[in-house]
């Protein structure tokens, strides 16, 4: 077959040098550097994590079996940034998929063609445009993003490519190689550990519809006064929460908050998206119940900085219990629509490229 890869493009001009934050995004404001005490705490935290995961993750599964509550607590506090890529691969099951499918990614990228290639190229510059890795037109970041998205669109032609997938792949590429990012995307969409996410991107967005319906029910149960106000103002979750689920808060939320959410999301599953969404509404509850339609829409799409502080928002989210009720609502939704439950797993039967 004809080789088709974005490496064939001529590189564009390098972006002008500007100040960046510690994650590689162009700085919007001046941040104070961490003091010596905070730096020492972080170094001790990294040592604990290194001991927990072992060399290259060799001790991870053993530690999770022995001390699951310790692992959960530490993940909720945030994975050290220098170890985040490795830990994400361990907790998502993507490392196992990579080892079980040697050479598959290379074949998908180099020797296969996709009907979505032009759509992917069109959207690439819209993914994290303020991050240095993706700024250079046809530069290394944009080429890597193209390759991962193109490979997935070939791997799963039923899903192909949908614009929101770029933010998932882009986030992963900031912490791991192309091949690692591809298999983590597969692990998420196919459900290697948790419920598969592919329904978020299939025709008609069936899983988005389900999640928004469940979120609406949970919101009205946890905050009946706000639910009544939303009903009066004809506000529904599709007006403000779709991107929360489609990109797992990576589209418009502060990056440091998105990372903390992703730490928990990869370990505990999609329930953290519901919890964070409910926590945001709870945090602004007293203001939201007073606002008319137009101001409500603006407020729901533009939360203040204090609401975006992970150390404030996430403990509030953790305190909201949704697991049992979410499962009940999911079963009710599937029964009503005549659909089977969505708890699907893949183990050794990953799709192979012939």
69 is a domain residue: no
46 is a domain residue: no
- The Cα 83–Cα 85 span in angstroms is 6
- The Cα 253–Cα 258 span in angstroms is 6
48 is a domain residue: no
Domain region containing 169: 82-197
Is the same domain home to 179 and 219?
no
73 is a domain residue: no
Is the same domain home to 211 and 192?
no
263 is a domain residue: yes
pLDDT at 78 over 70: yes
The mean of the pLDDT values for the chain is 87
Is the same domain home to 102 and 132?
yes
Quote the pLDDT of residue 12: 43
CATH number at residue 100: 1.10.8.270
pLDDT at 343 over 90: no
Total number of domains in the chain: 2
Per-residue pLDDT tens over the stretch 283-320: 999 999 999 999 999 999 999 999 999 999 999 999 99
66 is a domain residue: no
Per-residue pLDDT tens over the stretch 11-36: 444 444 567 767 766 765 545 555 66
Percent of the chain clearing pLDDT 90 (strictly above): 74
Q: Beta-carbon neighbour count of residue 66 at 10 Å?
A: 10
50 is a domain residue: no
Is the same domain home to 164 and 233?
no
27 is a domain residue: no
CATH number at residue 253: 1.10.472.80
pTM: 0.86
Per-residue pLDDT, averaged over 328-345, amounts to 67
What stretches of the chain show up as alpha helix (H) in DSSP? Answer: 36-53, 60-66, 68-77, 84-92, 94-100, 104-111, 117-124, 132-135, 140-155, 165-173, 178-190, 206-222, 224-232, 242-246, 255-268, 271-283, 285-288, 293-301, 310-319, 323-336
Burial of 280 (0-12, 13-18, 19+ CB in 10 A): buried
Is the same domain home to 228 and 165?
no
């Amino acid at each position: 077959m004809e080789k088709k890869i974005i490496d064939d493009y001529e590189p564009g001009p390098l972006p002008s040098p500007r100040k960046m934050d510690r994650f590689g995004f162009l700085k919007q404001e001046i941040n104070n550097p961490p003091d010596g005490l905070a730096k020492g705490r972080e170094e001790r935290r990294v040592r604990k994590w290194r001991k927990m995961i072992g060399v290259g993750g060799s001790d991870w599964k053993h530690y999770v079996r022995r001390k699951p509550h310790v692992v959960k607590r530490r993940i909720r506090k945030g994975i050290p940034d220098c170890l985040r890529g490795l830990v994400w691969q361990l907790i998502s099951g993507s490392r196992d998929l990579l080892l079980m499918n040697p050479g598959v990614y290379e074949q998908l990228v180099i020797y296969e063609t996709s009907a979505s290639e032009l759509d992917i190229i069109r959207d690439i510059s819209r993914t994290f445009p303020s991050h240095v890795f993706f700024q250079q037109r046809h530069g290394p970041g944009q080429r890597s993003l193209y390759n991962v998205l193109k490979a997935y669109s070939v791997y799963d032609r039923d899903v192909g490519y949908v614009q929101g997938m770029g933010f998932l792949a882009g986030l992963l590429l900031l912490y791991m190689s192309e091949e690692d990012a591809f298999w983590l995307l597969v692990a998420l969409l196919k459900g290697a550990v948790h419920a598969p996410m592919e329904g978020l991107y299939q025709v008609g967005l069936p899983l988005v519809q389900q999640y928004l319906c469940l979120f609406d029910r949970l919101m009205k149960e946890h905050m009946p006064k706000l639910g009544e106000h939303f009903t009066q103002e004809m506000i529904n979750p599709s007006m403000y929460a779709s991107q929360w689920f489609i990109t797992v808060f990576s589209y418009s939320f502060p990056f440091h908050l998105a990372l903390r959410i992703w730490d928990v999301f990869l370990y505990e599953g999609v329930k953290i998206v519901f919890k964070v969404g409910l926590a945001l509404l709870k945090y602004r509850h007293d203001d939201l119940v007073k606002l008319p339609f137009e101001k409500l829409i603006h407020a729901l799409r533009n939360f203040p900085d204090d609401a975006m502080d992970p150390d404030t928002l996430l403990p509030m989210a953790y305190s909201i219990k949704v697991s049992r009720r979410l499962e009940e609502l999911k079963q009710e939704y599937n029964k009503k629509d005549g659909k089977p439950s969505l708890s699907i797993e893949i183990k050794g039967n990953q799709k192979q490229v012939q």
